[in-house]
Amino acid sequence: MSLMSEARSSVDIASFYWTLTNRDTGTQEPSAVQGETVLQTLSELSGKLKVRIAVNTPQEKQREDLRLLNDSGADIRMVNMKALTSGVLHTKFWIVDKKHIYIGSANMDWRSLTQVKELGAMVYNCSCLAEDLGKIFEAYWFLGAGQSIPSPWPPSFSTQFNKDTPLQLALNDTPSSVYLSSSPPSFCAAGRTPDLQSILSVMEDAESFIYIAVMNYLPTMEFSKPQRYWGDIDTQLRRLAYERKVKVRLLISCWPNSQPVMFPFLKSLASVYDPKSKLDVQVRLFVVPPNPGPEIKYARVNHNKYMVTDKVAYIGTSNWSGDYFLRTAGSALVINQTESRSEEPTVQAQLRAVFERDWESDYSSPLTHSSDLTHFC
């Protein structure tokens, strides 16, 4: 709502799907009013400003909100990711007036506002960062016109800001090194760090700890047939825990839709714990209590996707399994403020506080090699 109130000329939104009213769930849940308010406000803006929406090709029941916005004046392009990469457009970000941005885990779904635990970042008055995120949006917009993936991408999509040459700017009056990463690699124009490389690089730079909070964590190609193991991230965590004695914490969501195969892999990672050998990998499962009223499908889950180390805050839009980095469109904001001399808390400090609050909370339970998961989720 804050972003929309700032809008004077344009709103660009990249999104997975749109279900901002009770209609999609067939419920009478009062908290859906927040989603309905967002939809109504955006439809009013669509008649006044330039509103563009790049969205994953939707199922029929997810088209109603988009029809309303289109009828109100929004320009909508559906990106057929299934045909392009056999993945989905899973990104979630907003760009307003080419100077304000939101990026994070929340879908354009009323449940994301009231029934699901989400985390994202807002950056105001930062045209250089908004312009760079705009290049990722323009790639979706290009592909939404029915184009095939160019190789290489035209120069207008390229960036000079990446893990090796981040953008230097002040965020909250604090010197910051910042860049945006993107997935899959085939969507990355010259200069853009692919999201997986960004994650591995952030881990590589950590000196004392790596804290990760994601809904799904699987060292597999989650949606591939035949089944394929994919150990890039898992191997990196084990290596850093062993070689550098980095403290690793994973806070993973547990809910009725969790894949059973995820837990043996997490137990395996949690077993890399031996104080005598200075191995310190721990896993906890986070359970959001059920709604007191009627059950709402695909709700009550910790949906965030972020990592924080002693140096860096990484806020993304992808779950952590192979398909999300190799076939699915996602994006992430990476911020390093280790040079900070400011009194303001850094983004890294804020994100660490969120993680530690959740890790220590009553909603979080340790997962060990011997945990009985029968009634866990």
Catalytic (active-site) positions: 90, 92, 97, 303, 305, 310
pLDDT given for residue 370 in this prediction: 84
Cβ–Cβ under 8 Å, residues 214 and 90: no
Q: What is the mean pLDDT of each run of 10 residues along the chain (377 residues)?
A: 98 98 90 97 98 96 95 98 98 98 98 97 98 98 98 98 97 95 98 98 98 98 95 98 98 95 96 97 96 88 98 98 98 93 89 98 93 79
Cβ–Cβ under 8 Å, residues 316 and 121: no
DSSP secondary structure, 17-56, as one string: -EE-SGGGTT---GGGHHHHHHHHHHHHHHTTSEEEEEEE
Cβ–Cβ under 8 Å, residues 334 and 179: yes
Q: What would the two tokens of residue 80 be?
A: 């057929």
- C-alpha 90/C-alpha 67 separation (Å) is 20
pLDDT given for residue 302 in this prediction: 98
- C-alpha 210/C-alpha 192 separation (Å) is 24
With CA atoms as reference, report the closest residue to 347 among 332, 331, 333, 364.
Answer: 333
Cβ–Cβ under 8 Å, residues 20 and 38: yes
Angle between helices 33-46 and 64-72 (to 10 degrees): 30
- C-alpha 313/C-alpha 352 separation (Å) is 8
- C-alpha 90/C-alpha 317 separation (Å) is 7
- C-alpha 312/C-alpha 362 separation (Å) is 27
End-to-end CA, the chain: 33
Domains of the chain: 2-367 (3.30.870.10)
- C-alpha 132/C-alpha 135 separation (Å) is 5
Residue 364 sits at φ, ψ, to 5 deg, of -115, 135
pLDDT given for residue 310 in this prediction: 96
The alpha helices in the chain, defined as continuous H runs, are 2-6, 33-46, 64-72, 81-85, 110-114, 127-143, 195-205, 232-243, 262-270, 322-326, 347-359
pLDDT given for residue 24 in this prediction: 84
- C-alpha 250/C-alpha 210 separation (Å) is 8
pLDDT given for residue 71 in this prediction: 98
